[in-house]
Structure 1
């Protein structure tokens, strides 16, 4: 049985090794996840299943990533952004192939698989297929290549089809439950003022709103989601009590005249924090609402918030007077 002094010596040597590696520019997995946007679960899956990234290991088994590893992760993201399947990326990287035009990479097949599960109201199979993709791809890639196109295909499928409302309620309920659970756990880990997201539409469970919320939450930013429209006076009360860092309003349909021409411009003038209108309504009314920040889809909304420095932990969060 090892003696206590030997255990202490081993722990001390392991700590010295870790400090030395960090001083040389190596990063632990949590920092790599934060800087690249690829969560730790996905990084481990890339290593274990495909050998895409093989980090250094300390004596205690902690993963450490060099600047070259981080650059390789960025290259992987470049290929994934082009639609290449993760199983094909290693060969492309190792052969030093230049980035090619976007490809389907099997995404159409996966969308068809999910659509079939939705048509059969098969929640477990839907969950298993989505979880398998979630373990291998960064969230932004999943939204761009899988979820946002899938929503477009579903909207076309649901035009005048018997059973469309049933499929819609089933899928939107699953989607909101899935996202809300992950957002809840992310909120427990994130600090600072939240970003407030409000649904301006008439129907609850707006999927575009929840996609925005999950993308923001995945960027180490706490979120509050109000999945139902609020009267302007009560929205002002919510801003006063929550004191969010920014306000995102999401609308999937054209806005009515009063909201479009009076209430939104007034809210924009009175709001003491950044305000973004996201969703198809931002594109529909882009000429009328030229003074507002607009984003036509969840990916554009996330990119705007990122450019404004509104994601991640904030030391001095803005407040509403």
Structure 2
């Protein structure tokens, strides 16, 4: 069965699952756990995978969970409801990523929009951001460093991705009961897209995210911390040379704000030796959803 082909309208899903169309639309708008595609008339079209996810959520609600709790469970246990073959699942992610990358490197914004919209219609925002956009960012960086693409290609692709994820961040509600998280690039760091993906992950979990992006002037971070009083602060590094100064800043802020939980992430940390990683292990958040979940649970 082709579980990824959009074919059910909202009326069919409503009748099949016993859920009111208004409720379904409200869930999608507030929690964005699925993103159905739309036909030429603008009507929603759902896949078999969407129906499995909705059925799973409804079972949890019937057992006494709130929809918010059920969505949180879904995000940390997605394998429970996705029963497609893992190999085909991975191939599909790779194909979507390759198509999106080709469109971006061809400066085709319309094609890039279509490919990204298609990806969001099949997978959760976290899956798209982490398993499709994340590898694309690495690939683009490698191509640029190897002089296989120009800075114009890198700028176009980065701006497109930044714009789409930024719009998603603004549309996701926060849970007032969850703590506030401050996100900023480490000193001298200007590559913010990896941090933006992490911001999306936190926002989808309900955290109140304050995203500063590129590194800010020395001393200004103290003003921000005093103003917003976050529980968490996350700094990212994509350049290995910036790790020492970022770690020193993290250690200094930890002494200045003992209750502040500081996390460090970014692809630069993957290039460290195991010994160097061990020295700063408490700060390391990791570069996968599984690692992020584990770090938050421990902190």
TM-score of the aligned structures, taking structure 2 as reference length: 0.70
Pair 1:66–1:273, CA change in 2 (3 A): same
CA distance in 2, matches of 1:40, 1:117: 24
Structure 1 residue 77 corresponds to structure 2 residue 82 = yes
What residue number does 2:266 align with?
279
TM-score of the aligned structures, taking structure 1 as reference length: 0.65
- SS in structure 2 of the partner of residue 297 of structure 1: coil
Question: 1:228-267 to 2 correspondence within 5 Å?
Answer: 228-256=214-242, 259-260=245-246, 262-267=248-253
Larger gyration radius, structure 1 or structure 2: 1
What residue number does 1:222 align with?
208
Question: 1:94-173 to 2 correspondence within 5 Å?
Answer: 104-161=90-147, 163-173=149-159
Pair 1:251–1:161, CA change in 2 (3 A): same
Specify which structure has the higher proportion of helix: 2
Residue 147 of structure 1 deviates from its aligned partner by 1.6
Pair 1:156–1:281, CA change in 2 (3 A): closer
Question: 1:28-47 to 2 correspondence within 5 Å?
Answer: 39-41=33-35
CA distance in 2, matches of 1:261, 1:52: 42
CA distance in 2, matches of 1:274, 1:304: 14
Contact 1:29–1:64 under 8 Å retained in 2: no
**Of the candidates 58, 68, 77, which is equivalent to residue 65 of structure 1?**
58
Structure 1 residue 194 corresponds to structure 2 residue 200 = no
- SS in structure 1 of the partner of residue 250 of structure 2: helix
**Which consecutive residues of structure 1, in runs of 5 or more, have no partner in the other structure?**
1-20, 23-27, 58-62, 86-103, 310-321
Backbone CA RMSD of aligned residues: 4.0
Contact 1:179–1:214 under 8 Å retained in 2: yes
Residue 47 of structure 1 deviates from its aligned partner by 8.1
CA distance in 1, matches of 2:245, 2:49: 53
Contact 2:184–2:212 under 8 Å retained in 1: yes
Pair 1:297–1:31, CA change in 2 (3 A): farther
